[in-house]
Amino acid sequence: MHRKSLSSWNHFWREPSLLITVILINTLLVLFVVFPLFQVFKTCFIAKDGSTLTLKYAWELFSKSYNRQPLYNSIVLGICVALLGTTVGFACAYAVTKTDMRFKRFLQATTLLPIISPPFVIALSAILLFGRNGLITRKLLQEGLGIDLYAAGFDIYGLTGLVIVETLAYFPTAYLVLVGVLSSIEPALEEAASNLGASQWKVFRTVTVPLSLPGIVNAMLLLFIESMADFGNPLILAGRFNVLSVQAYLQITGNDNLPGGATLAMALLLPSLAVYFLQHYLLRQRAFVAVTGRASGSGMQRVDKRIHYPLMAICWGAVGCVFLFYGLVLVGSFTKLWGVDYSLTLNNYAEAFRLGADYIWDSLLLAAIATPLTGLLGMVVAFLVKRKQFVGRRLMDITSMLSFAVPGTVVGIGYILAFNQPPFMLRGTAAIILLLFIFRNMPVGIRAAAASLDQIDSSLEEASINLGAGSLTTFRRILLPLIAPAFFAGLAYSFVRCMTAISAVIFVVSGRWNLITVAILGFVENSDFSQAAALSMILIAFVMAALGLIQLVLTLAFKRRITEFFRDAGI
């Protein structure tokens, strides 16, 4: 083991380009991840004169039970969303990659809908559907059937509503991670188990799920962090179920207490880091190689009824919920006054294009620049932390997750504190928005690529290096084509998050550079839900078109390379 490690070190130091890459990425992470968060930390725990550390703000806040309870609530909510969201995401990914289920394209398109719209739109739909005056709870059930759900104890405000909305909003993240992982599992492994007499249920339980474990755990980690950091949905639906992200946001914006709000928000790092280390501990001593370079046949199959019926129930249940929530947004975009006057009109769309043209253009331009940079950087970081041995490798992995692990409000405030004075005077420029997009969205691409790299046999890289190729050439010519599904996941997530971002970016937008989500939020705050719904539908249409373009470009870029690689290798 020591000899192998020493050999890896020698090989690493013999490659100047790889060394330069590590130094460059570490510099970027320090400057655009660590430095902004340090500025927030400095505001929380360093006295105003800058001379001493202080726990004054932390003691004042957490000595009160009404500030401790939101932390517990946030952890409970995050665990529920991680478990349910990953279950739904795995079911949809398995149905798409491993079964001959009909209407797959329809399922894929529907699955992406929740992540290509601002999350607070789903929360508003939940209120209009299941609030006390909701279309379902009041119009359909109470007035139509005489059933009063609220009298029976149901309440959309609180933990129940948040779990429903956040699961619906974030399960596509798990789907995007897991669809790449499941598609990378060689069908020959499952077929071999079947040929040895194992039932489909046993193959699923003992082969497919264990080999998918890196993706499952990584998806749960991402969903837990997303739930912990979310403040848009809790701001609307939390009611008396206070969560830490909202408590921090209100401290900053409502009480003008920047140190107190930053202190509350920084507390979210503790459970997020704890979950990260737990994930690493669970996976570090297990092998999950599922891609060996040998050809295999198709993995599509008819599944056992013990898998089929629960799978269909979860998949089409999720589809039904998506159509229910977004159907209301679509209907609302054609109404004169959403929730009051349901007369149909097209004026909302005309006004949306007239008032929001600049917002739409700025959003598309900034997202188009940030997306490829985010995707490539995520792939390179995943390659380094998974395949290379060097001082600070673990620290690089942790640092790359930091900006994703804290609430967006804290990241936005950190960027304002860090880049609002020389030598980094970026406030009001497009650069500060682009940098925030890249380093805020990069972790999903890293986790998706890391899960796929866990399944690729290292002998493929060793063969390339033995033939004289460098590490970066091996990554570009062999690994990157093989992890193309994960690359697409990173690109897709980055683009939609750039287009739908609100919590962090609202602090760095300016009069010159603005975003479509800011315009939608403005309409929501003015209770003009019909106009907000129309602009949301326009946003969804643009994002769907962009996702189709990304998939086309990746297919053209990588399909030929993969074919040539296996042909040249004689496989």
Helix/strand/coil (H, E, C) string of 498-546? HHHCCCCHHHCCCCCCCCHHHHHHHHHHCCCHHHHHHHHHHHHHHHHHH
- Cα separation, 508 vs 437, in Å, equals 11
Identity at 333, one-letter amino acid code: S
The shares of helix, strand and coil residues in the chain, as percent rounded to the nearest 5, are 75, 5, 20
Q: 336: helix, coil or strand?
A: strand
User: What mean pLDDT do residues 385-389 have?
Assistant: 77
Mean pLDDT in residue range 286-302: 49
Q: Any bridge partners for residue 527, and if so which?
A: none
Q: What is the pLDDT of residue 80?
A: 93
Inter-helix orientation angle 159-184/104-112, to 10°: 130
Q: Looking at per-residue confidence, does 530 or 190 come out higher?
A: 530
Residue 124: name the closest of 549, 560, 535 by CA.
535
- Where is mean pLDDT largest: 217-226, 249-258, 562-571? 217-226
Residue 280, pLDDT above cutoff 60 = yes
358's tokens: 């600049």
Lowest model confidence (mean pLDDT) among 275-284, 397-406, 483-492, 538-547: 275-284
- The proportion of the chain whose per-residue pLDDT surpasses 70, expressed as a percent, equals 78
* Residue 88 structure tokens: 């739904």
Task: Kindly tell me if the per-residue pLDDT of 236 is higher than 60.
Answer: yes
pLDDT in tens, 129-148: 887 777 788 778 877 787 87
- When mean pLDDT is compared across 290-294, 369-373, 458-462, 516-520, the lowest value belongs to 290-294
- CA–CA separation, 252 vs 410, rounded Å? 9
Position 283 scores a pLDDT of 58
| Cβ atoms of residues 416 and 507 within 8 Å | yes
pLDDT at residue 392 is higher than 80? no
Q: CA-to-CA distance for 546 and 466, rounded, in angstroms?
A: 40
> Using CA atoms, how far apart are residues 81 and 163, in angstroms rounded to an integer?
6
- Output the pLDDT for position 9: 53
Residue 221 has pLDDT above 50, yes or no: yes
CB atoms within 10 A of CB 497: 22
Confidence of residue 176 (pLDDT cuts 50, 70, 90): confident
Residue tagged 């957490």 (tokens): 62
Q: Are 66 and 240 in contact (CB under 8 A)?
A: no
Lowest mean pLDDT among 196-205, 349-358, 540-549: 196-205
The DSSP-derived string for 440-457 is HHHHHHHHHHHHHHTTB-
For residue 424, list its beta bridge partners: 421
Estimate to the nearest angstrom the gap between the alpha carbon of 148 and the chain centroid.
37
Is pLDDT above 90 for 435?
A: yes
Cα 440 from chain centroid? 10
Residue 507 has pLDDT above 50, yes or no: yes
| Contact present, 452 and 483 (Cβ < 8 Å) | yes
Question: Residue 214: pLDDT above 90?
Answer: no
Q: What pLDDT does residue 27 have?
A: 92
Mean pLDDT of 316-323: 88
Rounded to an integer, the average pLDDT of 526-531 is 77
- Identify the CATH number of the domain defined by range 2-568: 1.10.3720.10
> Which residues are registered as beta bridge partners of 425?
420
Is residue 81 very low, low, confident or very high in pLDDT (cuts 50, 70, 90)?
very high
State residue 297's pLDDT score.
Answer: 43
Q: Confidence class of residue 84 from pLDDT cuts 50, 70 and 90?
A: very high
Q: Which pair of structure tokens corresponds to residue 25?
A: 């990425």
Lowest-confidence region among 175-184, 207-216, 418-427, 466-475: 466-475
Give the Cα separation of 495 and 374 in Å (integer).
9
Q: Rounded mean pLDDT of 367-373?
A: 89
Asked if 39 and 266 touch (Cβ cutoff 8 Å), the reply is: no
Residue of 509, 8, 425, 35 whose CA lies nearest to 520: 509
Q: For residue 344, is pLDDT > 60?
A: yes
Residue 239's Cβ-count burial label (10 Å; 0-12, 13-18, 19+) is middle
The reported pLDDT for the residue numbered 194 is 67
How much is the mean pLDDT over the chain? 77
